[in-house]
A and B are shown apart, each in its own frame.
Chain A
Amino acid sequence: GNSVTQMEGPVTLSEEAFLTINCTYTATGYPSLFWYVQYPGEGLQLLLKATKADDKGSNKGFEATYRKETTSFHLEKGSVQVSDSAVYFCALITQAGTALIFGKGTTLSVSS
């Protein structure tokens, strides 16, 4: 079946460190891929997305590239800030579906 696997946290970094959160997926066809972020006390927000192979989604300094050959959509940021502390969720929607399929979420804590 369709699924998303992302690295388990928590991930603890110092400010200005490089961030990678790994995400791989299993899905038939060509799903659309997403990263959502949940800041403390808030709802899920779309961070970035990619809808076809080799697309790069980017927002707020975060990037992720849709890699069909490795079925991956790893999230990266070159220099994290304390304000990036949140829970990050990788997700997909299949071509035939409308419901998001999520990974378990990765908690990121950034200290100054």
Chain B
Amino acid sequence: EAGVTQFPSHSVIEKGQTVTLRCDPISGHDNLYWYRRVMGKEIKFLLHFVKESKQDESGMPNNRFLAERTGGTYSTLKVQPAELEDSGVYFCASSPLGVRQYFGPGTRLTVT
């Protein structure tokens, strides 16, 4: 069974540019989560999809971040325009019913 995959693994962009991160969950997992770890700090929750619906987006930092999950399969997280403080590692996780979440390897975003 393939795990959660994320693309790209690393992205370097300039302040003001746009970046789109992609997450492919484990097939059949209705729940999809985005988290972010800023350097030296906790991994923080961004949002939660159940199928294509946003269940909880209370962790989204501001309206420069837009997450979608069309068709309830893969998800994208767009940052537009990117700011320096958006640098960090963005993790995606998926789960079926229940508590355990399966994480992807993360996308390291560097905004210069």
Residues of A bordering B, CB below 8 Å: 4, 32, 36, 41-46, 49, 51, 89, 91, 93, 98-105
Select from chain B the residue with minimum beta-carbon distance to A8.
Answer: B40
Q: Which residue of A lies closest to B58 (CB)?
A: A99
Bin the interface of chain B by size: 20 to 34
Asked if B48 is at the interface of the complex by the 8 Å CB criterion, the answer is yes
Contact, CB under 8 Å: B43 / A45? no
Binding-face segment, B66-74, B79-87, B96-104: B96-104
Q: Which of chain A's residues have a CB closer than 8 A to the CB of B14?
A: none
Please determine whether A100 and B40 come into contact, CB atoms closer than 8 angstroms: no
**Is there contact, CB below 8 Å, between A99 and B33?**
yes
Q: CB distance B56 to A99 under 8 Å?
A: yes
Q: A51: which B residues are within 8 A, CB to CB?
A: 99
The closest CB in chain B to the CB of A91 belongs to B43
User: At the interface, yes or no: B31 with Cβ under 8 Å from chain A?
Assistant: yes
Any A CB within 8 A of the CB of B64: no
Are A43 and B35 within 8 A (Cβ)? no
Known: A91-B43, A101-B45. 15 other contacts (CB 8 A): A43-B3, A43-B104, A44-B103, A49-B99, A51-B99, A98-B31, A99-B56, A100-B35, A100-B93, A100-B101, A102-B44, A103-B42, A104-B40, A104-B41, A104-B42
Q: Is B28 an interface residue (CB 8 A)?
A: no
Instruction: Assess A99 versus B4: contact at CB under 8 Å? Given A41-B105, A43-B103.
Output: no
- CB-CB under 8 A from B31, the residues of chain A are 98
**Contact across chains for B43 and A102 when beta carbons are under 8 A apart:** yes
Residues from chain B with Cβ under 8 Å of A91 in the complex: 43
Which 8 A-B residue pairings sit nearest by Cβ, starting from the closest? A44-B103, A99-B45, A43-B105, A102-B43, A43-B103, A102-B42, A43-B104, A104-B42
Contact of A43 with B91 in the complex, beta carbons under 8 Å: yes
